[in-house]
Amino acid sequence: MPKAHGSSSLVVTSLDEAVTALGPNTTGIKADVQSLDELNSLATQVKETVGQFDILFANAGIAKRANFRDVTEADFDQEIAINFKGAFFTVQKLEPLMNNGSSIILTTTVLGQTALPGEGIYGASKAAVRSLARSLSRELLDRQIRVNAVAPGPIETPIWSKMDLPEDVPAQVLGRTPIGRFGKPEEVAKAVLFLASDDSSYMLGEEILVDGGWATL
């Protein structure tokens, strides 16, 4: 479970809620993807709990809206640390525990193909993850581990309330989305499940847009 942007209590609450929703065969482990020590600990706990596994979904990410001229070094470093570095080292630390023929799914964004003012660092960090999906696809071929990505557009998640957006921005985003609504987390989850399953066995290094037509229409 990635450490969310916010208080530690919020992370624990969210993790506990997820474990309860998923049922009695679920184990929740809290780790901050910015910390290699915590990722090493995560790998150790996964090995002790389940041993080998087949699916890795690296989904941790934050977005801090700021105009180019106002971006601070601290905000820049945190977005890159979580969105790109975190994804890279999550895969590096957990890949040895994955079975041959497993599937890795990375979360990118529609902003890797288009742009939104104030989201330059977020878009760039996720574009790096898109490149990583291609690179890892080549490097992990020796184990037949497939790496693909899912690129969400505007989705109804708590991240919107954490970005300190002007009141008119959600309406602007909605107006730019051809399908005329925000996406639902479940719609992204279905794309991830497809990439995790054998139904996508001939897909490698790909990125699936789940964006209501934002990037293509």
Residues with catalytic annotation? 122
The three state secondary structure string of 49-83 is HCCCEEEEEECCCCCCCCCHHHCCHHHHHHHHHHH
Q: For the chain, what is the total number of helices (H) and then of strands (E)?
A: 7, 4
- With beta carbons less than 8 A apart as the criterion, state whether 146 and 99 touch: no
For 14, residues 6+ apart whose C-beta sits below 8 A from its C-beta are 1, 4
